[in-house]
Amino acid sequence: MTEPLWSPDGENLVIHGDNVAALSRLPDASFQLIYIDPPFNTGRVQARQTMTTVRTAGGARKGFQGRSYETVKGLLYSYDDSFADYWEFLEPRLEEAWRLLDDTGTLYLHLDFREVHYAKVVLDALFGREHFLNEIIWAYDYGARAKNKWPAKHDTILVYVKNPKTYFFDNAEVDREPYMAPGLVTPEKVALGKLPTDVWWHTIVSPTGKEKTGYATQKPEGILRRIIHASSAPGDWVLDFFAGSGTTGAVAHKLGRRFVLMEQNSQALEIIRARVPGATHIE
């Protein structure tokens, strides 16, 4: 039997290598929160490994839904061949995410307009529709603007929970926002601010700001701070297996959470080392 890479009694961990192989060596139900920001299938060259998975109808995992899941996947594949390639890349990793989530845990899947509509249909089959919690729209206003269509200025974060009856969500810890029409509420409410909705207005990482690492797809700490505050408590374990520049680990560390990061890009690993010193690294 393959030795586990890590246990919840261990230290913060950064793994350099293929995330499918590494995920399979982590113990079940170990993570309160999983956030992933995978490649967006933009058409640029990506190094992908096709995986084959085998299921049996009536298996132990509630939410995979046996033949109905296979039917949904088949319909999507017949509709768009390019998505079939992408899903063969992403599917086995999301199956591992389901296995690794604690019963109170939450998955945040960060995508853009190219794949999110497909991904939601398949995740409904993979996790179960009743496990869908939110579709978060992260809206920003920076960069080039299209002249012949509405400029694309948002990403989508799909939120699914392991168990819709027991999942953890702490809105008291989430940062509050100014009211858009403060004259319609009391001064006390204006001073307190309002809880965010499922539309988050937040700038991208500033090209000249302190957060900037130089990593092309770096996400702002404010987005991860809101996610980690809402769906984990101090001391909980957070997993990000497309770690990129390490924003998840950096924010988790600041907020007193523990983390496991995975990344295959050597340049990204150097950035992670600088942002989260003290973590154990496995090559």
What is the per-residue pLDDT across 2-53, written as a single tens digit (0 to 9) for each?
Answer: 678 888 888 999 999 999 999 999 999 999 999 999 986 644 433 333 333 3
Does pLDDT of 234 surpass 80?
Answer: yes
Instruction: Measure the CA–CA gap between 24 and 81, rounded to whole angstroms.
Output: 28
Domain 13-282 matching CATH 3.10.580.10: the answer reads no
Confidence of residue 83 (pLDDT cuts 50, 70, 90): low
What is the per-residue pLDDT across 97-115, written as a single tens digit (0 to 9) for each? 999 999 999 999 999 888 8
What is the per-residue pLDDT across 134-166, written as a single tens digit (0 to 9) for each? 999 999 987 778 889 998 899 999 999 999 999
The pLDDT of residue 239: 98
Report yes or no: 67 and 124 within 8 Å, Cβ to Cβ. no
Instruction: Measure the CA–CA gap between 224 and 231, rounded to whole angstroms.
Output: 11
Q: Which whole number is the average pLDDT over 171-200?
A: 93
Q: Where are the domains of the chain?
A: 13-282
Half-sphere exposure of 158 (CA within 13 A, CB side): 21
The pLDDT of residue 117: 87
